[in-house]
Amino acid sequence: MDKKLEPIVKTMQEKFSAAHEEFRGEVHVFVNPEQIVDALTVLRDEYKFELLSALTAVDYYPQTSPRFHVVYQLTSLANNVSVQVRVPVDGDSPKVPTAARVYATANWRERELLDMFGIEFEGHPDPRRILMPEETEGHPLRKDFPLGYEEPQFTFNFEEIDLRKPYVKE
C-alpha cells in the first residue's frame, strides 16, 4: 500500500470500522450506507480529496445481499493519491444518502445511478432520470435487464418491421 494511504485507511477503520482490500496498488475501503456522507466529508476536509473522480455502481446479481456496490473514486490533487470508497447496498429498494452536498458532481452522477441502476439517493436535490426518457420502465444497467436490439429495416420488409416498433401511434 502507498505510504500516504496508510493513515487514511487507519482513520477510516477507527471512525467508520471500515474494512479494506487492495488490488494492484489500489485501495478499496468499505463503508456502510448510513456513514457515507460523514466518510466523504472527512476524506475531503482532512485528507484533501478535492475531486470525486467517478461515482458509479456495480451490480452483483443474482447475489442479493449486498446486490450493489456504489463506488466513489476519490482523487487528492494535493497529495497525488487515490482511494476508492465502496458502499454495499441490498437488492430490494436500494437507498443511499446523497453526496451532492459534499461534492457537487455527485448530483448528476447520482441521477445517472438512479436512472441506470434504480438506486435511490435520499435527499437528492433533483431526482429525475438523466439519460433515458422519463417514461422508461426498468433500469438498463441492472443485470436482470435484458440487452435489447433493434431490427434493421430494409425496403422489402420496412413496413412489416415498422408495425412491431414501439412508436407513438395514433
Partner 1 sequence: MAQLEEVGVEKYKHLVSERALTGETMLLNMGPQHPSTHGVLRLLLELDGEIVVNCIPDVGFLHTGIEKNMEAKTYQKAEVMTDRLDYMNPIGNNLAYVMAVEKLVDVDVPPRAQALRVILTELQRIASHLVWLGTSGLDLAAMSMFLYCFREREQILDIFELVSGQRMMTTYIRPGGVWRDVPVEFENAVRDFIKIFPKRVDEYESLLTKNPLFIDRTVGIGILSREVALSHGVTGPMLRASGVDWDLRKARPYMGYEQYDFNVPVRPEGDTYARYLVRVRELRESLKIVEQALNRLPMGPVRSENRKIVPPPRSEIGVSMEALIHHFKLWTEGFPAPKASVYSAVESPRGELGVLLEGDGGPKPVRVHMRTPSFDNLSVLPEIVKGHLVADLVAVLASTDIVLGDIDR
Judged by beta carbon, residue 34 or residue 165, the one nearer partner 1 is: 165
Instruction: Tell me the residue length of the chain.
Output: 170
**Least Cβ distance, residue 43 to partner 1 (angstroms):** 14
Separation between Cα atoms, residue 50 and residue 104, nearest integer Å: 11
| 84 makes contact with partner 1 (CB under 8 A) | yes
Per CB under 8 A, contacts with partner 1 among 99-118 are: 103-105, 107-109
Q: Interface with partner 1 includes 76 (CB under 8 A)?
A: no
State the DSSP string of 93-153: S-EEE--TTT-TTHHHHHHHHHHHH--EEET-S----SSS-TT--S-TTSTTS-----PPP
Site map (CB under 8 A) of partner 1, residues 16-55, x = contact: -------xx-x-x---------------------xxxxx-
132 contacts partner 1 (rule: CB under 8 A): yes
Give the strand pairing for 120-122 and 68-76.
Answer: unpaired
Count Cα atoms within 13 angstroms, Cβ side, for 13: 11
For the bound state, the minimum distance from the C-beta of residue 93 to partner 1, rounded and expressed in Å, comes to 21
Query: Within 10 Å of residue 148's Cβ, how many Cβ atoms?
Result: 6
CA-CA-CA-CA torsion sign (99, 105, 111, 113): negative
The smaller minimum CB distance to partner 1, of residues 164 and 169, is found at 169
Residue number, 73 or 98, with CB nearest to partner 1: 73
Say if CB 85 and CB 43 are below 8 A apart: yes
Q: Which residues bind partner 1 (CB under 8 A)?
A: 23-24, 26, 28, 50-54, 56, 58-60, 71, 73, 75, 77, 80, 82, 84, 103-105, 107-109, 125-126, 129-133, 135, 140-141, 145, 147, 166, 168-169
